[in-house]
Structure 1
């Protein structure tokens, strides 16, 4: 069995925290709402989510991306066998899985969903967009709730729904970034019904008033679904504070998108540190 010293684990936690503070500031800030003794395990999960999510950003070929994702599946094999590989995130993830009996199938869903990141137009319909959000951000929030001591199925489902809503809002916020990468994340069936081609979404000079309105109509529907998931989740009872924080931040992002007429190309995609902190302060109370 591979043994990681407390010093090595502390170094891994510091490095992961510094990276996530920069690269996933919303969800990392939510983790700070948790009791200190749970934070390392929450950072482990967020680090795992980030490492799998960045695959398509750091490799350009689908085959290489598939190999990288398979590497993470083999990481879970090693953790299960008691012989984890050495990696900053794995040094934290292995003890987190053991301490909270985190289901492997939930982690694998997060890996498998990332295969869609190599497709230029991955989503056939709105249900496919939601499934992607559920298998990525939704599973992350569910696992976070489990680390935070939630065992009731209804409350775990609620956490997953919040994460899914947060993930859907994230997909909408990412539309401009992905368009610059020549990818379109809008549902293909809705685009076809509106007469939209991928070029009209990707190329700024092709987005006239009619195209912008058609995109906004699709975005508004997806945003409405994200908001509904969060509202319904709150009916299940009190959510763990880091998950409630995601709900609060998602609502702010969705409100800003609505104020921009659901035009993702003009809506601000990032919250200021002050606005993030204020939103989470209200969520904590």
Structure 2
């Protein structure tokens, strides 16, 4: 290498270095220019000898602090990105080591076989546990169905030897005669109006109306939800353009929860269950209902979904 000459790479390096220095100098202001600017602002008399040095030191400290902050953020991002990959890689490496070189990890072939057998046993136990939980849920549903059936079949002196057909006849004969023949059937569920009765609220200019409906399923294994006023649906009555939303629903022995606004019950084939839908705050001049619409949800082996039965032109009887 000749002392008074440069290679092409050295020349390029020198050009880059001088260009960088030029860029740095272009962004700087000479001391003379600073003094002239301070003189124009009337601040030159206040300038001390070490003011410029102090300002430069402070700016250098702030610049270094920003640089370290950026370095820290970059390092933190790298750690967040690489930590899961490192953990996953270590887990996979251990699996390979256990499978290929168990002796290096202090494991014998017998240990590996025992470990695999233990995992299989744990999986079998987990599957059995899931099956037991499923059976448990089915038993709970069956218990609820039996409780409902028991409540419906209780007649006081009815003997157990009565046939199902006779029992159905007795129950149907003991039913009160509906004041209206209004009824509608949707997806195998019969909704039949029993009565709509008013009751005045104490110290109020409004009244409450309760409509009793007999609900009967024509098929087995049926569950029905009935809504008063909830996020899933609501029941309502309309009269002369005014709408009133249900405040409570009773379905058999169950009542709707204020928070969720619905109640559910299991239906037995050909056995009616009474549902009562209550509306509060109804105007006192309402004696006839143009439309009673209630929201239900059917869950069965043949159909699952929402239903909106409607009964029209219903008379309201006074309080007894």
- Normalising by structure 1, we get a TM-score of 0.23
The higher relative CO (CA closer than 8 Å, separation ≥ 6) is in 1
- Normalising by structure 2, we get a TM-score of 0.22
Larger Cα-atom Rg: 2
Which protein is richer in strand relative to its size? 2
